[in-house]
């Protein structure tokens, strides 16, 4: 996740993943986004509910402030 924040690919290396066999692969930012799309989409419902509870519409929001490490996720 961190590497893909600033690069289009990341190397994944796990020593002795299974019975002494090492695991090595490359992960692209596009593939990372594809694998996590359901999680990204899952944030829409709570945001819509928060707007509804606040009696606001999307057009009423002028600025969004993101905090925390996950704000650097490429998507």
Question: Helix 44-53 vs helix 29-42: angle between axes, to the nearest 10 degrees?
Answer: 40
What is the CATH number that goes with domain 2-69? 3.90.640.10
Strands annotated E in 6-47: 9-18, 21-28
Q: 18 pLDDT band (50/70/90 cuts)?
A: very high
Encode pLDDT of 37-70 as tens digits: 998 899 899 999 999 999 999 999 999 888 877 7
pTM of the predicted model, to two decimals? 0.62
Residue spans per domain, the chain: 2-69
Nearest to 5 by CA among 29, 38, 40: 29
């Amino acid at each position: 996740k961190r590497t893909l924040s600033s690069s289009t690919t990341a190397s994944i290396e796990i020593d002795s993943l299974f019975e002494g066999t090492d695991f090595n692969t490359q992960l692209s930012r596009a593939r990372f986004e594809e694998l996590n799309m359901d999680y990204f989409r899952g944030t829409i419902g709570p945001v819509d509910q928060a707007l509804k509870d606040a009696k606001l519409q999307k057009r009423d929001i002028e600025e969004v402030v993101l905090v925390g490490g996950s704000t650097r996720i490429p998507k």
